[in-house]
Protein backbone atom coordinates (compact mmCIF):
# COMPACT_ATOMS: atom_id res chain seq x y z
CA UNK A 1 0.00 0.00 0.00
CA UNK A 2 1.25 3.50 -0.81
CA UNK A 3 3.01 5.30 1.98
CA UNK A 4 2.02 8.62 0.41
CA UNK A 5 -1.68 9.22 0.02
CA UNK A 6 -3.95 12.18 0.14
CA UNK A 7 -7.60 12.62 0.92
CA UNK A 8 -9.17 14.57 -1.94
CA UNK A 9 -11.13 17.70 -1.14
CA UNK A 10 -10.55 17.62 2.59
CA UNK A 11 -11.14 21.05 4.01
CA UNK A 12 -8.82 23.19 6.05
CA UNK A 13 -11.33 23.83 8.83
CA UNK A 14 -11.06 20.17 9.86
CA UNK A 15 -14.67 19.36 8.90
CA UNK A 16 -13.95 16.73 6.33
CA UNK A 17 -15.82 16.25 3.11
CA UNK A 18 -16.62 12.75 4.33
CA UNK A 19 -18.41 13.94 7.43
CA UNK A 20 -20.37 16.58 5.51
CA UNK A 21 -21.13 14.82 2.22
CA UNK A 22 -21.07 11.17 3.26
CA UNK A 23 -18.35 10.18 0.80
CA UNK A 24 -14.76 10.95 -0.08
CA UNK A 25 -12.18 9.62 -2.54
CA UNK A 26 -8.72 8.74 -1.27
CA UNK A 27 -6.37 8.94 -4.24
CA UNK A 28 -3.75 6.25 -4.87
CA UNK A 29 -4.16 4.50 -1.53
CA UNK A 30 -3.22 1.13 -3.00
CA UNK A 31 -0.28 0.32 -5.29
CA UNK A 32 -1.11 -0.88 -8.84
CA UNK A 33 0.66 -4.21 -8.14
CA UNK A 34 -1.58 -4.90 -5.16
CA UNK A 35 -4.65 -4.04 -7.26
CA UNK A 36 -3.46 -6.43 -9.99
CA UNK A 37 -2.96 -9.19 -7.45
CA UNK A 38 -6.47 -8.76 -6.05
CA UNK A 39 -7.95 -8.52 -9.56
CA UNK A 40 -6.15 -11.72 -10.63
CA UNK A 41 -7.51 -13.55 -7.55
CA UNK A 42 -11.08 -12.30 -7.78
CA UNK A 43 -11.88 -12.04 -11.51
CA UNK A 44 -11.98 -15.84 -12.07
CA UNK A 45 -14.34 -16.21 -9.08
CA UNK A 46 -16.69 -13.65 -10.64
CA UNK A 47 -16.50 -15.35 -14.06
CA UNK A 48 -17.28 -18.70 -12.49
CA UNK A 49 -20.26 -17.22 -10.64
CA UNK A 50 -21.57 -15.61 -13.84
CA UNK A 51 -21.65 -19.04 -15.50
CA UNK A 52 -23.80 -20.51 -12.76
CA UNK A 53 -26.24 -17.70 -11.83
CA UNK A 54 -29.06 -16.16 -13.84
CA UNK A 55 -28.58 -12.66 -12.40
CA UNK A 56 -25.89 -10.54 -14.05
CA UNK A 57 -25.92 -7.97 -11.26
CA UNK A 58 -24.63 -9.59 -8.09
CA UNK A 59 -21.05 -9.70 -6.95
CA UNK A 60 -19.02 -12.45 -5.32
CA UNK A 61 -19.90 -12.36 -1.61
CA UNK A 62 -18.46 -13.51 1.73
CA UNK A 63 -14.87 -12.84 0.66
CA UNK A 64 -13.50 -12.01 4.11
CA UNK A 65 -13.89 -15.65 5.12
CA UNK A 66 -13.02 -17.27 1.83
CA UNK A 67 -10.11 -15.21 0.45
CA UNK A 68 -6.94 -14.61 2.46
CA UNK A 69 -5.78 -11.67 0.27
CA UNK A 70 -9.08 -9.85 0.75
CA UNK A 71 -9.01 -10.57 4.46
CA UNK A 72 -5.41 -9.29 4.81
CA UNK A 73 -6.16 -6.19 2.72
CA UNK A 74 -9.27 -5.40 4.79
CA UNK A 75 -7.22 -5.39 8.00
CA UNK A 76 -4.22 -3.46 6.69
CA UNK A 77 -3.02 -0.80 9.06
CA UNK A 78 -3.12 2.03 6.53
CA UNK A 79 -6.74 1.35 5.55
CA UNK A 80 -7.89 0.99 9.16
CA UNK A 81 -6.08 4.16 10.18
CA UNK A 82 -7.83 6.16 7.41
CA UNK A 83 -11.20 4.80 8.55
CA UNK A 84 -10.58 5.43 12.22
CA UNK A 85 -9.38 8.97 11.47
CA UNK A 86 -12.64 9.66 9.64
CA UNK A 87 -14.96 7.93 12.10
CA UNK A 88 -13.16 8.62 15.38
CA UNK A 89 -13.88 5.00 16.35
CA UNK A 90 -12.15 1.65 15.90
CA UNK A 91 -13.54 -0.08 12.82
CA UNK A 92 -13.56 -3.74 11.79
CA UNK A 93 -14.50 -5.34 8.44
CA UNK A 94 -17.82 -7.19 8.35
CA UNK A 95 -18.53 -7.99 4.70
CA UNK A 96 -16.62 -8.02 1.41
CA UNK A 97 -18.08 -8.26 -2.11
CA UNK A 98 -16.32 -8.15 -5.49
CA UNK A 99 -18.09 -6.47 -8.42
CA UNK A 100 -16.95 -6.60 -12.05
CA UNK A 101 -19.07 -4.51 -14.40
CA UNK A 102 -18.01 -5.61 -17.89
CA UNK A 103 -19.50 -6.11 -21.40
CA UNK A 104 -21.27 -9.34 -20.31
CA UNK A 105 -22.44 -7.98 -16.94
CA UNK A 106 -23.20 -4.33 -17.69
CA UNK A 107 -25.78 -3.53 -15.05
CA UNK A 108 -27.87 -0.60 -13.91
CA UNK A 109 -28.51 -0.11 -10.20
CA UNK A 110 -31.30 2.37 -9.34
CA UNK A 111 -30.96 4.95 -6.55
CA UNK A 112 -30.85 3.23 -3.19
CA UNK A 113 -29.24 3.16 0.24
CA UNK A 114 -27.42 0.07 1.52
CA UNK A 115 -29.76 -0.97 4.31
CA UNK A 116 -28.95 -4.67 4.72
CA UNK A 117 -26.25 -6.26 6.83
CA UNK A 118 -25.20 -9.92 6.67
CA UNK A 119 -25.45 -11.85 9.95
CA UNK A 120 -24.45 -15.34 11.02
CA UNK A 121 -27.93 -16.38 12.18
CA UNK A 122 -31.45 -14.98 12.06
CA UNK A 123 -32.45 -13.96 15.59
CA UNK A 124 -35.58 -11.84 15.87
CA UNK A 125 -34.48 -8.61 17.53
CA UNK A 126 -36.34 -5.33 18.09
CA UNK A 127 -35.29 -2.77 15.44
CA UNK A 128 -34.01 -5.44 13.02
CA UNK A 129 -36.43 -5.68 10.09
CA UNK A 130 -36.59 -6.61 6.38
CA UNK A 131 -35.11 -10.09 6.86
CA UNK A 132 -33.98 -11.75 3.61
CA UNK A 133 -31.70 -14.49 2.42
CA UNK A 134 -28.91 -13.86 -0.10
CA UNK A 135 -26.83 -16.82 -1.26
CA UNK A 136 -27.95 -18.73 1.85
CA UNK A 137 -26.95 -15.93 4.23
CA UNK A 138 -29.50 -14.14 6.48
CA UNK A 139 -29.62 -10.36 6.03
CA UNK A 140 -31.50 -7.77 8.09
CA UNK A 141 -32.06 -4.03 8.09
CA UNK A 142 -30.57 -2.81 11.38
CA UNK A 143 -31.56 0.42 13.16
CA UNK A 144 -30.23 3.53 11.43
CA UNK A 145 -27.71 4.16 14.23
CA UNK A 146 -25.80 1.02 13.20
CA UNK A 147 -25.73 2.11 9.54
CA UNK A 148 -24.73 5.65 10.49
CA UNK A 149 -21.59 4.36 12.21
CA UNK A 150 -20.54 2.14 9.27
CA UNK A 151 -18.21 2.98 6.37
CA UNK A 152 -18.04 1.23 3.01
CA UNK A 153 -14.69 1.09 1.23
CA UNK A 154 -14.74 0.66 -2.55
CA UNK A 155 -11.25 -0.12 -3.83
CA UNK A 156 -11.05 0.49 -7.58
CA UNK A 157 -9.08 -2.18 -9.38
CA UNK A 158 -9.53 -0.44 -12.79
CA UNK A 159 -9.83 3.16 -13.91
CA UNK A 160 -13.46 4.14 -13.89
CA UNK A 161 -15.04 7.22 -15.47
CA UNK A 162 -18.37 8.61 -16.65
CA UNK A 163 -18.44 6.26 -19.65
CA UNK A 164 -17.54 3.21 -17.61
CA UNK A 165 -20.38 2.86 -15.12
CA UNK A 166 -18.93 4.92 -12.27
CA UNK A 167 -20.98 5.11 -9.07
CA UNK A 168 -23.19 8.22 -8.75
CA UNK A 169 -24.00 9.64 -5.32
CA UNK A 170 -26.22 12.37 -3.85
CA UNK A 171 -24.01 14.33 -1.43
CA UNK A 172 -25.40 14.69 2.11
CA UNK A 173 -28.29 12.27 1.47
CA UNK A 174 -26.94 10.07 4.30
CA UNK A 175 -28.10 12.70 6.83
CA UNK A 176 -31.82 11.88 6.57
CA UNK A 177 -31.93 8.34 7.98
CA UNK A 178 -33.64 5.56 6.05
CA UNK A 179 -35.55 6.97 3.07
CA UNK A 180 -38.72 5.58 1.48
CA UNK A 181 -39.37 5.61 -2.28
CA UNK A 182 -41.02 9.05 -2.21
CA UNK A 183 -38.15 10.58 -0.25
CA UNK A 184 -35.59 8.96 -2.54
CA UNK A 185 -37.35 10.43 -5.55
CA UNK A 186 -37.44 13.90 -3.92
CA UNK A 187 -33.74 13.74 -3.08
CA UNK A 188 -32.69 12.58 -6.53
CA UNK A 189 -34.77 15.19 -8.38
CA UNK A 190 -33.84 18.10 -6.11
CA UNK A 191 -30.10 17.42 -5.93
CA UNK A 192 -27.33 17.13 -8.46
CA UNK A 193 -25.57 13.74 -8.35
CA UNK A 194 -21.80 13.52 -8.23
CA UNK A 195 -20.13 10.95 -10.49
CA UNK A 196 -17.36 9.21 -8.57
CA UNK A 197 -14.64 8.95 -11.19
CA UNK A 198 -11.70 6.98 -9.86
CA UNK A 199 -8.37 5.60 -10.99
CA UNK A 200 -6.96 2.19 -10.25
CA UNK A 201 -5.78 2.21 -6.61
CA UNK A 202 -8.19 4.96 -5.51
CA UNK A 203 -10.59 4.20 -2.70
CA UNK A 204 -14.11 5.62 -2.47
CA UNK A 205 -15.27 5.82 1.14
CA UNK A 206 -19.00 6.19 1.70
CA UNK A 207 -21.69 5.92 4.33
CA UNK A 208 -24.14 3.06 3.59
CA UNK A 209 -27.07 5.51 3.93
CA UNK A 210 -25.72 7.71 1.10
CA UNK A 211 -28.01 7.47 -1.95
CA UNK A 212 -26.11 5.85 -4.80
CA UNK A 213 -26.77 4.33 -8.20
CA UNK A 214 -24.83 3.18 -11.21
CA UNK A 215 -25.61 3.30 -14.92
CA UNK A 216 -24.60 0.73 -17.51
CA UNK A 217 -21.21 1.53 -19.03
CA UNK A 218 -21.35 3.24 -22.45
CA UNK A 219 -17.87 1.97 -23.10
CA UNK A 220 -17.95 -1.37 -21.31
CA UNK A 221 -14.64 -2.75 -20.17
CA UNK A 222 -13.72 -4.18 -16.78
CA UNK A 223 -14.82 -1.97 -13.86
CA UNK A 224 -13.69 -4.08 -10.96
CA UNK A 225 -14.38 -2.94 -7.42
CA UNK A 226 -13.64 -4.60 -4.10
CA UNK A 227 -16.42 -3.41 -1.75
CA UNK A 228 -15.76 -3.86 1.98
CA UNK A 229 -18.11 -2.77 4.76
CA UNK A 230 -16.75 -1.76 8.15
CA UNK A 231 -18.65 -1.54 11.43
CA UNK A 232 -17.82 0.18 14.69
CA UNK A 233 -19.90 -1.87 17.11
CA UNK A 234 -21.00 -5.40 17.91
CA UNK A 235 -24.65 -6.37 17.40
CA UNK A 236 -27.14 -6.93 20.25
CA UNK A 237 -29.18 -9.96 21.38
CA UNK A 238 -26.77 -12.66 20.15
CA UNK A 239 -26.77 -11.36 16.56
CA UNK A 240 -23.32 -11.65 14.98
CA UNK A 241 -21.80 -10.00 11.93
CA UNK A 242 -21.41 -12.79 9.38
CA UNK A 243 -17.77 -12.18 8.58
CA UNK A 244 -16.51 -10.81 11.91
Ligand X SMILES: O=C(O)CCC(=O)C(=O)O
Binding positions for ligand X, rule: CB under 6 A:
99, 101, 109, 114, 167, 212, 214, 225, 227
Shortest separation between residue 213's beta carbon and ligand X, angstroms: 7
In the complex, which residue's CB is closest to ligand X? 214
Q: How far is 235 from 109, CA to CA, in rounded Å?
A: 29
Q: Show the beta-strand stretches assigned E in 102-185.
A: 109-112, 117-118, 129-134, 137-141, 151-156, 167-169
Q: How far is 239 from 235, CA to CA, in rounded Å?
A: 5
Q: How far is 152 from 30, CA to CA, in rounded Å?
A: 16
Shortest separation between residue 61's beta carbon and ligand X, angstroms: 11
Shortest separation between residue 166's beta carbon and ligand X, angstroms: 9
Q: By C-beta, is 49 or 214 nearer to ligand X? A: 214
Q: By C-beta, is 151 or 167 nearer to ligand X? A: 167
Shortest separation between residue 101's beta carbon and ligand X, angstroms: 6
Pairing of strands 223-231, 194-195: unpaired
Q: By C-beta, is 21 or 158 nearer to ligand X? A: 158
Amino acid sequence: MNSEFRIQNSESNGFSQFERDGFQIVKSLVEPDECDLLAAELTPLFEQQQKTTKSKIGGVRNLLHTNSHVSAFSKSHRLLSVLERLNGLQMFPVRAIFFDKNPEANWLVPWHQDLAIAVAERIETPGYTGWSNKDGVPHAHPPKEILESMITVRLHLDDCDTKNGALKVIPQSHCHGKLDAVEISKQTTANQPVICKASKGDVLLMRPLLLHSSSPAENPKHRRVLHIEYAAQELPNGLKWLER
